[in-house]
Copies of this chain bind each other. A is one copy, B any other.
Amino acid sequence: MAKSITSLNAPNPNVSVDCVVFGFDNEKLKVLLIEQRNTGQFEAQLALPGDLVLERENLDEAATRVLKQLTHLEGIYLKQFKTFGDPNRVNNVKDKEWLRTFREDPAARVITVAYYSLVKLEDYLPEAASFAGKVIWQPVDEIPALAFDHNIIVNEALKRLREEFEFKNIGYELLPKKFTLSMLQTLHEIVLGVKLDKRNFRKKLKNSTTIIALEEKQTGVDHKPAQLFVYQSKTLL
């Protein structure tokens, strides 16, 4: 009882945050992973940057703090998207040893509040915390087995990212302000992970009220210059 009153900066044993940061490098969609802290007793696994929430911080603060502590990344908008609470999510054999080394009560149930983000990869150079292994950007179509239920969390984040991308037109900040339809199609293909038919893609854009054609073409290209477009945010029905 006394614990929750006196140890205000103690980690809450039952609640963590995990961050799924997607990075776009014009060719691939990648996700930020870290190597778990390793004591040399067992093989280090790859995992999402995540940790327990402190008693006195709110969830958004925890996500920002944990990402910064583990990868040195900051100034990234993290959006809460789902909480994962399978009673067995941290009870796999592969995770038990690690938990025994680092957590006070390795059998405690942990639910994790997951956050995601989408950034231009070139703007962010992550760097591992001194106590962690390396930090890597891993292509989303080549993700190995991760610690805990982190593969499930990445897949759910990807699903949410794709929904928001389609319905809310997020992601335009990944393109230059004035872009060609080819650039837009490539962005869609990479984020959605599918090949799109050029004719259908352009036909559907014709009905769009958010992609506006400019009276302007590309310059300085060695092919026939393409028309330029801008994105204009949608007014709601």
Contacts and interface: CB of A to CB of B under 8 A. Distances in A.
Contact of A237 (B1, B53, B85, B204): B204
Contacts of A85: 15, 53, 58-59, 62, 113
A4 B83 contact: no
Contacts of A59: 83, 85, 111
A57 B87 CA distance: 6
A173 interface: no
A159 interface: no
A113 B207 CA distance: 38
Interface string A195-237: 0100001001001010000000000000000000000000011
- Can you tell how many copies of this chain the complex includes? 2
A169 B80 CA distance: 23
A167 B168 CA distance: 8
A148 to B, nearest CB: 15
B80 A83 contact: yes
Interface in A51-69: 53, 55-59, 62
A107 interface: yes
Contacts of A196: 237
Contact of A55 (B13, B87, B168, B207): B87
A109 B167 contact: no
Interface in A92-130: 105, 107-109, 111, 113
B86 A58 contact: yes
Interface of A: 1, 4-5, 12-15, 53, 55-59, 62, 80, 82-83, 85-87, 105, 107-109, 111, 113, 166-168, 188, 196, 201, 204, 207, 209, 236-237
10 contacts: A1-B107, A4-B108, A15-B15, A58-B86, A59-B85, A80-B83, A85-B113, A166-B236, A166-B237, A201-B237
